[in-house]
Amino acid sequence: MKPVSNYDLTWRLGNQMTRIPGAVISEEPLSIRIQGNPYSVIMRTPGDEISHAAGFCLGEGIVDTPEDFASIGFCDDQDTNVVTVTLNPSRRSLIADLLNRRGFISQTSCGICGRELVGELFQMIRPVQREVRIPLEAALSRLSRLSDLQPLRKTTRSSHAAAIFQTEEAPLSIAEDVGRHNALDKAIGKLFLQQKLHLAEMVILSSRISYELVQKTARAKIPVLLAVSRPTSLAVELASRLNMTLGCLSKDDGLYLYTGEQRII
């Protein structure tokens, strides 16, 4: 399955109607199976499936290091919609409750208020300890030029992106997807599998920042999370408790910083 599907569409302007070719972003289910059992089904744009599954597993606390994987790959070489994960015995015993879906909270918060949810996540995720210093000009440049790194968006006008940087370098990792969570999982997963995640200092997102995106970034131990759009209240509260820098573009082309402003100089 390709990330873009082609369709004929009708373009209408006033009294004119014309049939033209159009590109639409693809959306397919990705099934992640752990220890032979179904764990999650994610609607995503095809591509980077192994990285996507790896980033998802890191964000959910299923693994802490690449060595926790005994194997990760496609269930069938012909079927890229199913990724199977097996864990090393020591890791499997450590997260037995999580594999039974107890504690699986990023996808559902039924019966939990916002503060209780943040409290539970804080117990699961260690605060970020890294104290990087990023020039304001570098942060603004990365945000303003994110669209230059989005070929899928230029074709379809409907993708999100996540880009991971060191302070003033070219992106270490970039991913696009119909879902903002998926784009971040893919970008993180690429570096995680390459054992280069320790180089990452800043995540740039094309979307608003929800608490799940803070959770995923904190699990990757990346200290700075910036986005084009503003964060939610839960995202701000969780980022504050996890010692992260959270910000977005302001209306005058500057930055609004909600937490961790000392890292932007």
Q: Is 248 a catalytic residue?
A: no
CB atoms within 10 A of CB 186: 29
Domain ranges of the chain: 28-124, 136-263
> Do the domains at 28-124 and 136-263 have one common CATH topology?
no
Q: What is the mean pLDDT of the chain?
A: 89
What gap in Å lies between CA 226 and CA 138, rounded to an integer?
12
Band (214; pLDDT cuts 50, 70, 90): very high
What gap in Å lies between CA 203 and CA 247, rounded to an integer?
11
pLDDT for the residue 108 = 38
Phi, psi of 101 (to 5 degrees): 70, 5
Q: Which CATH class is domain 28-124?
A: alpha beta
Dihedral of CA 27/42/89/220: which sign?
positive
User: Which has more confidence, 175 or 153?
Assistant: 175
Average of per-residue pLDDT across 216-221: 96
Band (112; pLDDT cuts 50, 70, 90): low
Least confident of 2-6, 52-56, 227-231: 2-6
pLDDT digits (tens, 9 = 90+) for 47-80: 999 999 999 999 999 999 999 999 999 987 767 8
pLDDT for the residue 117 = 66
Length of the chain: 265
Most confident of 10-19, 127-136, 145-154: 127-136
Active-site pick, 75, 110, 113, 248? 110
Cβ-Cβ contacts under 8 Å for 133 (sequence gap 6 or more) = 167, 263, 265
What is the distance, to the nearest Å, from the Cα of residue 82 to the centroid of all Cα atoms in its chain? 19
Least confident of 45-49, 164-168, 198-202, 221-225: 164-168
Band (114; pLDDT cuts 50, 70, 90): low
Structure tokens at 171: 């992106």
Instruction: Assign a CATH topology to domain 136-263.
Output: Cytidine Deaminase; domain 2 (3.40.140)
